[in-house]
Structure 1
Amino acid sequence: MQKIIILVLTVFFSFSATAEHRLNEKDESNIRKLIQQQVDAWNEGNLEKFMETYWKSDQLSFVGSRGPTYGWQATLDNYKKGYPDKKAMGHLDLKVLKLTQIDKKTVLMIGRFELTREIGDAAGHFTLVIQKIEGEWKIISDHSSAEK
Protein backbone atom coordinates (compact mmCIF):
# COMPACT_ATOMS: atom_id res chain seq x y z
CA MET A 1 0.00 0.00 0.00
CA GLN A 2 2.83 2.40 0.84
CA LYS A 3 4.38 1.81 -2.60
CA ILE A 4 1.09 2.73 -4.29
CA ILE A 5 0.81 5.97 -2.30
CA ILE A 6 4.39 6.90 -3.17
CA LEU A 7 3.74 6.12 -6.85
CA VAL A 8 0.53 8.21 -6.89
CA LEU A 9 2.26 11.15 -5.18
CA THR A 10 5.24 10.93 -7.55
CA VAL A 11 2.97 10.99 -10.60
CA PHE A 12 0.89 13.84 -9.16
CA PHE A 13 3.93 16.01 -8.43
CA SER A 14 5.46 15.22 -11.82
CA PHE A 15 2.35 16.48 -13.60
CA SER A 16 2.08 19.50 -11.30
CA ALA A 17 5.67 20.53 -11.97
CA THR A 18 5.25 20.39 -15.74
CA ALA A 19 1.78 21.91 -15.97
CA GLU A 20 1.61 25.05 -18.10
CA HIS A 21 1.12 28.24 -16.15
CA ARG A 22 -2.13 29.99 -16.96
CA LEU A 23 -2.10 33.75 -17.32
CA ASN A 24 -4.87 35.35 -15.29
CA GLU A 25 -7.27 37.79 -16.97
CA LYS A 26 -5.91 40.88 -15.19
CA ASP A 27 -2.31 40.18 -16.21
CA GLU A 28 -3.31 39.33 -19.78
CA SER A 29 -5.31 42.56 -19.99
CA ASN A 30 -2.35 44.59 -18.65
CA ILE A 31 0.02 42.95 -21.14
CA ARG A 32 -2.33 43.67 -24.03
CA LYS A 33 -2.57 47.30 -22.81
CA LEU A 34 1.24 47.44 -22.86
CA ILE A 35 1.22 46.38 -26.51
CA GLN A 36 -1.52 48.88 -27.34
CA GLN A 37 0.55 51.58 -25.61
CA GLN A 38 3.38 50.70 -28.00
CA VAL A 39 1.11 50.96 -31.03
CA ASP A 40 -0.39 54.28 -29.89
CA ALA A 41 3.01 55.83 -29.11
CA TRP A 42 4.49 54.65 -32.42
CA ASN A 43 1.56 55.98 -34.42
CA GLU A 44 1.91 59.34 -32.61
CA GLY A 45 5.56 59.41 -33.71
CA ASN A 46 6.71 59.35 -30.07
CA LEU A 47 9.67 56.99 -29.66
CA GLU A 48 10.32 58.01 -26.04
CA LYS A 49 6.77 57.03 -25.09
CA PHE A 50 7.12 53.84 -27.15
CA MET A 51 10.24 52.96 -25.15
CA GLU A 52 8.36 53.31 -21.84
CA THR A 53 7.09 49.78 -22.50
CA TYR A 54 10.65 48.43 -22.29
CA TRP A 55 12.66 47.67 -19.16
CA LYS A 56 14.83 50.72 -18.52
CA SER A 57 18.00 48.73 -17.90
CA ASP A 58 21.37 48.04 -19.44
CA GLN A 59 20.25 44.39 -19.46
CA LEU A 60 17.44 44.99 -21.97
CA SER A 61 18.12 43.08 -25.19
CA PHE A 62 16.84 43.82 -28.69
CA VAL A 63 17.67 41.61 -31.66
CA GLY A 64 16.92 42.85 -35.14
CA SER A 65 18.37 42.59 -38.64
CA ARG A 66 21.64 44.22 -37.52
CA GLY A 67 22.14 41.80 -34.63
CA PRO A 68 21.76 42.29 -30.89
CA THR A 69 21.62 45.59 -29.05
CA TYR A 70 21.95 45.72 -25.28
CA GLY A 71 20.57 48.43 -23.05
CA TRP A 72 17.56 50.71 -23.03
CA GLN A 73 19.38 53.83 -24.24
CA ALA A 74 21.19 51.99 -27.04
CA THR A 75 17.86 50.54 -28.18
CA LEU A 76 16.24 53.99 -28.20
CA ASP A 77 19.23 55.41 -30.11
CA ASN A 78 18.89 52.67 -32.74
CA TYR A 79 15.18 53.37 -33.12
CA LYS A 80 15.93 57.07 -33.60
CA LYS A 81 18.51 56.27 -36.31
CA GLY A 82 16.20 53.88 -38.14
CA TYR A 83 13.05 55.97 -37.73
CA PRO A 84 14.15 59.63 -37.63
CA ASP A 85 10.68 61.10 -38.22
CA LYS A 86 6.97 60.33 -38.41
CA LYS A 87 7.19 59.67 -42.14
CA ALA A 88 9.81 56.95 -41.60
CA MET A 89 7.78 55.50 -38.73
CA GLY A 90 4.52 55.26 -40.67
CA HIS A 91 1.54 53.43 -39.17
CA LEU A 92 2.09 50.36 -36.98
CA ASP A 93 -0.26 47.44 -36.38
CA LEU A 94 0.67 44.65 -33.97
CA LYS A 95 -1.11 41.32 -33.74
CA VAL A 96 -0.61 38.94 -30.81
CA LEU A 97 -0.41 35.39 -32.16
CA LYS A 98 0.50 33.51 -28.98
CA LEU A 99 0.85 34.48 -25.34
CA THR A 100 2.39 31.93 -22.98
CA GLN A 101 3.13 32.37 -19.30
CA ILE A 102 6.52 30.91 -18.42
CA ASP A 103 6.29 31.56 -14.69
CA LYS A 104 4.40 33.89 -12.34
CA LYS A 105 6.22 36.97 -13.58
CA THR A 106 7.41 36.07 -17.09
CA VAL A 107 5.47 35.83 -20.34
CA LEU A 108 6.52 34.93 -23.88
CA MET A 109 4.65 36.67 -26.70
CA ILE A 110 4.83 35.83 -30.39
CA GLY A 111 3.26 38.31 -32.76
CA ARG A 112 3.21 39.97 -36.13
CA PHE A 113 3.94 43.58 -37.01
CA GLU A 114 2.83 45.50 -40.07
CA LEU A 115 4.24 48.92 -40.84
CA THR A 116 2.52 50.99 -43.52
CA ARG A 117 4.67 53.83 -44.88
CA GLU A 118 4.96 56.06 -47.93
CA ILE A 119 8.62 55.03 -48.22
CA GLY A 120 7.70 51.33 -48.35
CA ASP A 121 5.83 48.94 -46.12
CA ALA A 122 7.46 46.45 -43.79
CA ALA A 123 6.10 43.41 -42.01
CA GLY A 124 7.38 40.49 -40.00
CA HIS A 125 7.22 38.71 -36.69
CA PHE A 126 8.44 39.36 -33.19
CA THR A 127 9.09 37.46 -29.99
CA LEU A 128 8.91 39.37 -26.72
CA VAL A 129 9.88 38.29 -23.24
CA ILE A 130 7.74 40.36 -20.89
CA GLN A 131 8.34 40.38 -17.17
CA LYS A 132 6.57 41.86 -14.18
CA ILE A 133 9.09 44.20 -12.55
CA GLU A 134 8.10 46.18 -9.46
CA GLY A 135 4.44 45.47 -10.21
CA GLU A 136 4.55 46.55 -13.89
CA TRP A 137 4.84 44.46 -17.04
CA LYS A 138 7.89 45.48 -19.11
CA ILE A 139 9.52 44.07 -22.23
CA ILE A 140 12.93 42.71 -21.25
CA SER A 141 13.83 41.13 -24.59
CA ASP A 142 12.62 41.80 -28.13
CA HIS A 143 13.53 39.83 -31.25
CA SER A 144 11.95 41.32 -34.37
CA SER A 145 12.50 40.01 -37.89
CA ALA A 146 11.21 41.71 -41.03
CA GLU A 147 10.20 39.69 -44.07
CA LYS A 148 12.35 40.13 -47.14
Structure 2
Amino acid sequence: MRTKHFAAILLLTGILAASCTTHTDKTVKNERIAMTDAISEVKQALDGQVAAWNKGELENAMDFYWESPDMLWISRNGTEKGWQEVLEMFQTDFTDRSKMGEYTYEPLHIEQVGPEAVYYVYRWKIDLQGKKLMGGVSSQLWKKVEGRWVITSEHAS
Protein backbone atom coordinates (compact mmCIF):
# COMPACT_ATOMS: atom_id res chain seq x y z
CA MET A 1 0.00 0.00 0.00
CA ARG A 2 2.74 2.45 0.92
CA THR A 3 4.49 1.72 -2.37
CA LYS A 4 1.33 2.72 -4.31
CA HIS A 5 1.00 5.95 -2.34
CA PHE A 6 4.67 6.73 -2.78
CA ALA A 7 4.43 6.07 -6.54
CA ALA A 8 1.32 8.25 -6.79
CA ILE A 9 3.04 11.07 -4.89
CA LEU A 10 6.10 10.82 -7.15
CA LEU A 11 3.89 10.86 -10.26
CA LEU A 12 1.89 13.85 -8.97
CA THR A 13 5.07 15.70 -7.97
CA GLY A 14 6.51 15.11 -11.45
CA ILE A 15 3.37 16.38 -13.15
CA LEU A 16 3.26 19.48 -10.94
CA ALA A 17 6.95 20.18 -11.48
CA ALA A 18 6.59 19.85 -15.24
CA SER A 19 3.54 22.10 -15.18
CA CYS A 20 5.33 24.75 -13.11
CA THR A 21 8.45 24.59 -15.27
CA THR A 22 6.41 24.93 -18.46
CA HIS A 23 4.47 27.89 -17.02
CA THR A 24 7.66 29.53 -15.75
CA ASP A 25 9.45 28.96 -19.07
CA LYS A 26 6.51 30.47 -20.97
CA THR A 27 6.36 33.45 -18.61
CA VAL A 28 10.09 34.12 -18.95
CA LYS A 29 9.90 33.71 -22.73
CA ASN A 30 6.91 36.08 -22.94
CA GLU A 31 8.72 38.65 -20.78
CA ARG A 32 11.79 38.44 -23.06
CA ILE A 33 9.59 38.91 -26.13
CA ALA A 34 7.83 41.89 -24.50
CA MET A 35 11.21 43.43 -23.63
CA THR A 36 12.52 42.89 -27.15
CA ASP A 37 9.31 44.37 -28.58
CA ALA A 38 9.46 47.42 -26.29
CA ILE A 39 13.08 48.16 -27.14
CA SER A 40 12.46 47.65 -30.84
CA GLU A 41 9.38 49.90 -30.76
CA VAL A 42 11.28 52.68 -28.95
CA LYS A 43 14.15 52.46 -31.45
CA GLN A 44 11.63 52.79 -34.28
CA ALA A 45 9.96 55.72 -32.54
CA LEU A 46 13.26 57.59 -32.16
CA ASP A 47 14.01 56.92 -35.83
CA GLY A 48 10.58 58.38 -36.65
CA GLN A 49 11.29 61.47 -34.58
CA VAL A 50 14.67 62.00 -36.27
CA ALA A 51 13.11 61.52 -39.73
CA ALA A 52 10.45 64.16 -38.94
CA TRP A 53 13.16 66.55 -37.71
CA ASN A 54 15.25 66.03 -40.84
CA LYS A 55 12.22 66.81 -43.01
CA GLY A 56 11.84 70.09 -41.14
CA GLU A 57 8.61 68.94 -39.49
CA LEU A 58 9.13 70.29 -35.98
CA GLU A 59 5.54 69.69 -34.84
CA ASN A 60 5.68 66.08 -36.10
CA ALA A 61 8.97 65.57 -34.25
CA MET A 62 7.25 66.90 -31.11
CA ASP A 63 4.55 64.22 -31.48
CA PHE A 64 7.06 61.77 -30.02
CA TYR A 65 7.08 63.69 -26.72
CA TRP A 66 4.41 63.20 -24.09
CA GLU A 67 1.90 65.97 -24.63
CA SER A 68 1.57 66.84 -20.98
CA PRO A 69 2.42 69.71 -18.65
CA ASP A 70 4.52 67.12 -16.76
CA MET A 71 6.86 66.35 -19.69
CA LEU A 72 10.39 67.30 -18.60
CA TRP A 73 13.25 68.70 -20.73
CA ILE A 74 16.68 69.07 -19.10
CA SER A 75 19.69 70.75 -20.72
CA ARG A 76 22.82 72.61 -19.67
CA ASN A 77 20.62 75.73 -19.59
CA GLY A 78 18.30 74.26 -16.95
CA THR A 79 14.89 72.65 -17.19
CA GLU A 80 11.66 73.22 -19.06
CA LYS A 81 8.52 71.55 -17.89
CA GLY A 82 5.59 70.92 -20.18
CA TRP A 83 5.15 69.88 -23.78
CA GLN A 84 3.95 73.32 -24.89
CA GLU A 85 6.90 75.07 -23.26
CA VAL A 86 9.37 72.73 -24.96
CA LEU A 87 7.66 73.23 -28.33
CA GLU A 88 7.91 77.02 -27.89
CA MET A 89 11.59 76.70 -26.93
CA PHE A 90 12.28 74.70 -30.11
CA GLN A 91 10.26 77.15 -32.22
CA THR A 92 12.38 80.01 -30.85
CA ASP A 93 15.68 78.20 -31.51
CA PHE A 94 14.68 76.70 -34.87
CA THR A 95 12.50 79.31 -36.55
CA ASP A 96 12.46 77.50 -39.91
CA ARG A 97 13.78 74.41 -41.72
CA SER A 98 17.02 76.15 -42.73
CA LYS A 99 18.04 76.39 -39.06
CA MET A 100 17.16 72.79 -38.11
CA GLY A 101 20.05 71.08 -39.89
CA GLU A 102 20.56 67.34 -40.21
CA TYR A 103 20.08 65.30 -37.01
CA THR A 104 22.00 62.05 -36.56
CA TYR A 105 22.56 59.83 -33.55
CA GLU A 106 24.52 56.85 -32.31
CA PRO A 107 22.93 54.54 -29.70
CA LEU A 108 25.02 54.10 -26.56
CA HIS A 109 22.67 52.26 -24.16
CA ILE A 110 19.08 51.07 -24.13
CA GLU A 111 17.25 49.06 -21.51
CA GLN A 112 13.75 48.31 -20.43
CA VAL A 113 13.36 49.57 -16.87
CA GLY A 114 9.73 48.59 -16.34
CA PRO A 115 6.81 46.91 -18.06
CA GLU A 116 6.10 50.07 -20.05
CA ALA A 117 9.28 52.12 -19.63
CA VAL A 118 12.50 52.20 -21.66
CA TYR A 119 15.65 54.21 -20.92
CA TYR A 120 17.60 55.24 -24.04
CA VAL A 121 21.00 56.96 -24.12
CA TYR A 122 22.64 58.09 -27.35
CA ARG A 123 25.20 60.50 -28.79
CA TRP A 124 23.65 63.07 -31.13
CA LYS A 125 24.63 65.92 -33.39
CA ILE A 126 23.02 68.43 -35.69
CA ASP A 127 25.01 69.48 -38.73
CA LEU A 128 24.11 72.61 -40.65
CA GLN A 129 25.59 73.05 -44.10
CA GLY A 130 28.23 70.41 -43.38
CA LYS A 131 29.35 71.91 -40.06
CA LYS A 132 28.45 70.77 -36.56
CA LEU A 133 25.85 73.14 -35.17
CA MET A 134 25.43 71.34 -31.85
CA GLY A 135 25.66 67.91 -30.31
CA GLY A 136 26.16 65.90 -27.17
CA VAL A 137 24.59 63.02 -25.31
CA SER A 138 20.90 62.55 -24.56
CA SER A 139 19.15 60.27 -22.15
CA GLN A 140 15.45 59.75 -22.67
CA LEU A 141 12.81 58.03 -20.61
CA TRP A 142 10.18 56.55 -22.94
CA LYS A 143 6.87 55.35 -21.52
CA LYS A 144 3.92 53.67 -23.14
CA VAL A 145 1.06 56.13 -22.71
CA GLU A 146 -2.35 55.37 -24.17
CA GLY A 147 -0.90 52.60 -26.30
CA ARG A 148 2.07 54.45 -27.82
CA TRP A 149 5.66 55.12 -26.82
CA VAL A 150 6.46 58.75 -25.95
CA ILE A 151 9.37 60.58 -24.35
CA THR A 152 8.32 61.71 -20.88
CA SER A 153 11.71 63.09 -19.89
CA GLU A 154 14.86 64.00 -21.79
CA HIS A 155 18.24 65.22 -20.64
CA ALA A 156 20.25 66.63 -23.55
CA SER A 157 23.74 68.00 -23.01
Please classify the TM superposition score into its range, dividing by the shorter chain length: 0.7 to 0.9
Question: How far, CA to CA, are the matches of 1:77 and 1:103 in structure 2?
Answer: 31
Change (3 A) 1:68 1:24: same
Question: How far, CA to CA, are the matches of 1:113 and 1:63 in structure 2?
Answer: 15
Q: Which residue of 2 aligns with 1:89?
A: 100
CA RMSD in angstroms, aligned pairs only: 1.6
One-letter identity of the residue aligned with 2:144? K
Do 1:87 and 1:118's aligned partners in 2 also have CA atoms closer than 8 Å? no
Question: How far, CA to CA, are the matches of 1:30 and 1:94 in structure 2?
Answer: 17
Larger Rg: 2
Question: How far, CA to CA, are the matches of 2:110 and 2:83 in structure 1?
Answer: 23
Question: How far, CA to CA, are the matches of 1:144 and 1:130 in structure 2?
Answer: 14
Percent identity reads 28
Q: Which runs of 5+ in 2 are unaligned?
A: 1-30
Q: Which residue of 2 aligns with 1:74?
A: 85
| Superposition TM-score, scaled by structure 2 size | 0.75
Give the deviation of 1:55 after TM superposition: 0.4
Number of residue pairs the alignment of both structures matches: 125
Q: Which residue of 1 aligns with 2:140?
A: 128
Give the deviation of 1:40 after TM superposition: 0.5
Q: Deviations over 1:11-43 (max 9, x none)?
A: xxxxxxxxxx86622212210111011110110
Question: Normalized per residue, which structure has more helix?
Answer: 2
One-letter identity of the residue aligned with 1:89? M
Question: How far, CA to CA, are the matches of 1:87 and 1:144 in structure 2?
Answer: 22
Do 1:88 and 1:119's aligned partners in 2 also have CA atoms closer than 8 Å? no
Question: How far, CA to CA, are the matches of 2:107 and 2:88 in structure 1?
Answer: 26
Runs of 4+ that moved beyond 6 A: none
Q: 1:34 aligns with which of 27, 37, 45?
A: 45
| Superposition TM-score, scaled by structure 1 size | 0.79
One-letter identity of the residue aligned with 1:125? V
